[in-house]
Copies of this chain bind each other. A is one copy, B any other.
Amino acid sequence: MSNEVLSYGMVGGGIGSFIGDVHRKAAAFDGKAKLVAGCFSRDFENTRQTGANLGLDPDRLYRTYAEMAETEGARADGIDFVSIVTPNNTHYPIAKAFLENNINVVCDKPLTFTPAEATELVDLAQAKGLLFCVTYTYSGYPMVKQAREMVRQGCIGEVRTVVAEYPQGWLATPVEKSGTNRQAAWRTDPNQSGRSNCVGDIGSHIENTVAYITGLKIKSLCANLDIFGEGRSLDDNAGILVRYDTGATGIYWASQVAIGHDNGLKVRIFGTKGSIEWEQENPNYLRVALVDQPVLIYSRGGGYLYPAAAELCRIPAGHPEGYYEAFANIYTAFCRALLKKKAGLELTEQDLDFPDAVAGLAGVKFINKCVDSSAAGSVWVDLD
């Protein structure tokens, strides 16, 4: 157990924010990172109060992200990385500011509004030699890692078809008009969410989780985006047919009007020799099937897991680890890589096994192509 601890700052996540605390708990979980600076809100009073609650040094609370990036970038003991947990529309300029000040970045997804912006961030991080993590939470689950390893090892043969869904029901009624649901308000607002709500928020998780497990690249897609909620201007349901570069095909369904579902991300991968199924709401298990054999239920922590999955399990099988632990796994992977980098060591592919800016760019492309396809009458569009 290394006892070096990274220091980090946060943009967004002030009082009233939900996701900020999730990031902070995730970053702290394995003791690899300590929050020391913040610009938690456009409202400095909020930042001040949040910082006080968190026991931060008042000198490292900032009125603007730009000031924070510049100041922390200049400090000898400046933050090792920044966590950006603001609404989608601000990711791009904030991330850019910190990269320019030589600060590594962890950023919420979707990375940016446009592929051009995302590409710029990818290139900038690359040019600066900085690490950039996009928090696609679900790739942090041990059983997702196990699925990825199984596909890579050929356990299910060549992938033929993928069926993935992400149903939620929380926007089935117009809660964004209630005045009390802040999340609903900004998610359904194109100014803050961008060109898509449903695909942007959760469809992109399907895209990333499938890509992470299978390594498949989408060649073209045909998307039908629905707006069911009265008065909405952004999608709240989507059906997407997908063709991958290998000839495999896929069907994605994302919905925020699927009453009866809370957060039902489910991915099924069918290959020539077998299949793998994972569900986010019961994330400690994997359903595996091989031709003409009984179905297998893998358990998180089971001794038969691949090392890459086993090492993400902190407690024995049957003791559920959930969302926070998955989130923490992403932060911990990022921090490990960063510690190694700081120590001047070379980073292997395995060290870099966290969702990065390139994955973030793929997500932004996916979202935009889905909107393009649907807007043109749900025609097939190429990804590149």
Interface string of A203-225 (1 = CB under 8 A from B): 00000000000000000001010
Q: Name the residue of chain B whose CB is nearest to the CB of A288.
A: B294
Interface string of A281-309 (1 = CB under 8 A from B): 11110011111111111110111100000
Q: Is there a chain B Cβ closer than 8 Å to A310's Cβ?
A: no
| Minimum Cβ distance to chain B for residue A113 (Å) | 25
Stretch with Cβ within 8 A of B (4 or more), from A69-77, A165-173, A351-359, A361-369: A165-173
Q: Is there a chain B Cβ closer than 8 Å to A1's Cβ?
A: yes
Query: How far, in whole Å, are A271 and B281 apart by their CA atoms in the complex?
Result: 22
Most buried by B among A54, A262, A273: A262
Q: Name the residue of chain B whose CB is nearest to the CB of A237.
A: B161
Query: Could you say which residues of chain B place their CB within 8 Å of the CB of A228?
Result: 160-161, 272
Query: How far, in whole Å, are A223 and B236 apart by their CA atoms in the complex?
Result: 22
Stretch with Cβ within 8 A of B (4 or more), from A37-45, A83-91, A104-112, A318-326: A318-326
Q: Which residue from B251, B264, B291 sits with its C-beta under 8 Å from A259?
A: B291
Quick one: given A29-B25, A55-B5, A294-B302, are A237 and B160 in contact (CB under 8 Å)?
Answer: yes
Interface residues of A (CB under 8 A from B): 1, 3, 5, 15, 18, 21-22, 25, 28-29, 31, 52-55, 156, 160-161, 163, 165, 167-170, 172-173, 222, 224, 226, 228, 237, 239, 241, 243, 249-251, 253, 255, 257-264, 268, 270-275, 277, 280-284, 287-299, 301-304, 314-325, 377-380
Interface pair A222/B323, CB less than 8 Å apart: no
Interface pair B237/A239, CB less than 8 Å apart: no
Q: Which residue from B165, B272, B291 sits with its C-beta under 8 Å from A163?
A: B165
Given contacts A163-B165, A321-B322, 12 further A-B contacts (CB under 8 A): A18-B315, A22-B315, A161-B257, A169-B275, A224-B243, A257-B270, A259-B271, A260-B270, A262-B299, A263-B317, A295-B297, A322-B322
Query: Could you say which residues of chain B place their CB within 8 Å of the CB of A302?
Result: 292, 294
Query: How far, in whole Å, are A284 and B323 apart by their CA atoms in the complex?
Result: 12
Q: Name the residue of chain B whose CB is nearest to the CB of A377.
A: B380
Interface pair B259/A290, CB less than 8 Å apart: yes
Closest 6 CB pairs of A and B: A262-B318, A260-B289, A263-B318, A320-B322, A262-B317, A295-B297
| Minimum Cβ distance to chain B for residue A29 (Å) | 7
Quick one: given A241-B239, A260-B275, A378-B380, are A291 and B173 in contact (CB under 8 Å)?
Answer: yes
Query: How far, in whole Å, are A18 and B172 apart by their CA atoms in the complex?
Result: 44
